[in-house]
Structure 1
Amino acid sequence: MFLVILLVLAGITALTVWLVYRPHNPKFRVVNAAVYQLNTTTTTTGNLLISTTMQFALITRNPNRRVSFQYDQLTAFVTYRDQAITQPAILPPLFHNTKSTVALSPVLGGSGVPVAPEVVNGLEMEQATYEVVGLRLVLTGKLKYKSRVVFRSGRYGIYVRCDLFVAFKKGFLGQLPLLGSPRPCAVDV
């Protein structure tokens, strides 16, 4: 009987702590994009390479009042039609305090990335026909929840997908307008 009462009290305590401290996932949004270089080349073996340099202004918001986030091993890269067109860039560790907003502005790209012919053809067609390119900014890494008083969680994998459409004319480089209002990114923890 004593053991049952002890288990019920422990369950009520755990439920109360969870209700008070339950962490909500961080929110991400892309607010600006710039393309400084976008070239396609063919190697001597016939492989296609895309070399690009892009920069995105990314805002992340911690909606929690009692829980902060610690990001580790963050990497960012850009995909087009589910194929990477930039090398993964390693971002520094980030501590995200409660009820705060942090801006990230990673520069992605550099050396050439091998891609399928469909990717190059699709990019060129969308630029020429629509002057709009659909890209996906991806962030991956580890997330740790921290509370000042009660708990510190283990590390969880975080996967952020930001789908965006940018107005991109052939030959135009620099700041690109995002089409539509910036939508929140999908966050999986």
Structure 2
Amino acid sequence: MPLPAPPPAQQQGQRQRHPFLVRSIAGVLLALILITGLAVLIIWLSVQPRKLRYSIEEGSISGYNLTNDRLNSNFHFVLRAENPNKRISLYYDRIDVTVSYEDQKLSVNNVHPFYQRRRNITHLDLDLVAKDAVLYGAVARDLKMERGSGSVDLDVKIRAKIRLKVGVFKIHRKLKVECGPITVPFSPSKGFERVFCDADID
């Protein structure tokens, strides 16, 4: 035998309790998000973050051969990465490096992930190989002319996915580093002049 339907007043009470429960849960979640965000902001301001600094310390070219507008060459750079912060360390999870000439990419490579401690300077070897890289337009002609002068102006761009570690918090960010123009001599006897890079974190 079917049970009798609850009185109208009881049905109305059940309907009223559900929206109240949903609003309560939403309010608690919103409060937790606000508290967490405020805590991260307070910690971030308290550590007084300083800008990361990068520069190219060395640069060299070997195995250079430009024939029929196709380039084969080995490029080697030493990147100086400085973290001047007292309370922030970094995880470099992915690092992509590009070397280009007159806005044309010559080679792309990546660097092994690494962890950088607070107040630390790390030197990274950037090795890139151009293999049968096709040069378009006037790029091949200009590169031949610069080769005759004994050096060439190149640009190095770095794109990295990093995590900033502040206390127990880890903040995901994207790093952009642009270095150039970098005057790289074809002969090591000419020496190399350090080039400072522009860095931005998104």
With normalisation by structure 1, the TM-score equals: 0.77
SS of aligned partner of 1:18: helix
Contact 1:167 1:176 in 2 (8 A): no
| Structure 2 residue runs without a partner (length 5+) | 1-30
Instruction: Look up the match of 1:152.
Output: 170
Asked if 1:162 is matched to 2:162, the reply is no
CA distance in 2, matches of 1:175, 1:93: 33
Query: Which one has the largest radius of gyration?
Result: 2
Q: 1:161 offset after TM fit, Å?
A: 1.0
CA distance in 1, matches of 2:174, 2:40: 24
CA distance in 1, matches of 2:121, 2:195: 16
- Residues 110-166 of structure 1, C-alpha deviations (whole Å, 9 max, x = no match): 4222221311111111232x433211111112011012x242112x22121111443
Instruction: Look up the match of 2:136.
Output: 116
The structure, 1 or 2, with the larger RCO (C-alpha pairs under 8 Å, 6+ apart) is 1
Q: Of 139, 160, 177, which residue of structure 1 is paired with 2:191?
A: 177
Q: Of 91, 95, 98, which residue of structure 2 is paired with 1:74?
A: 95
Instruction: Look up the match of 1:141.
Output: 160
Q: 1:107 offset after TM fit, Å?
A: 1.4
- Residues 27-63 of structure 1, C-alpha deviations (whole Å, 9 max, x = no match): 1111111111221233xxxxx3211101111111001
1:176–1:55 Cα change, 3 Å: farther
CA distance in 2, matches of 1:15, 1:91: 31
With normalisation by structure 2, the TM-score equals: 0.73
The 5-angstrom pairing of residues 1-189 of structure 1 reads 16-42=42-68, 48-86=69-107, 88-128=108-148, 130-147=149-166, 149-154=167-172, 156-166=173-183, 168=185, 172-174=186-188, 177-179=191-193, 182-189=194-201
Letter in 1 for 2:102: R
- Residues 160-181 of structure 1, C-alpha deviations (whole Å, 9 max, x = no match): 111144353xxx55576224xx
CA distance in 1, matches of 2:188, 2:121: 26
Q: Flag the structure with higher helix content.
A: 2
CA distance in 1, matches of 2:80, 2:189: 17
Instruction: Look up the match of 2:13.
Output: none
SS of aligned partner of 1:120: helix
The total of aligned residue pairs comes to: 170
SS of aligned partner of 1:122: helix
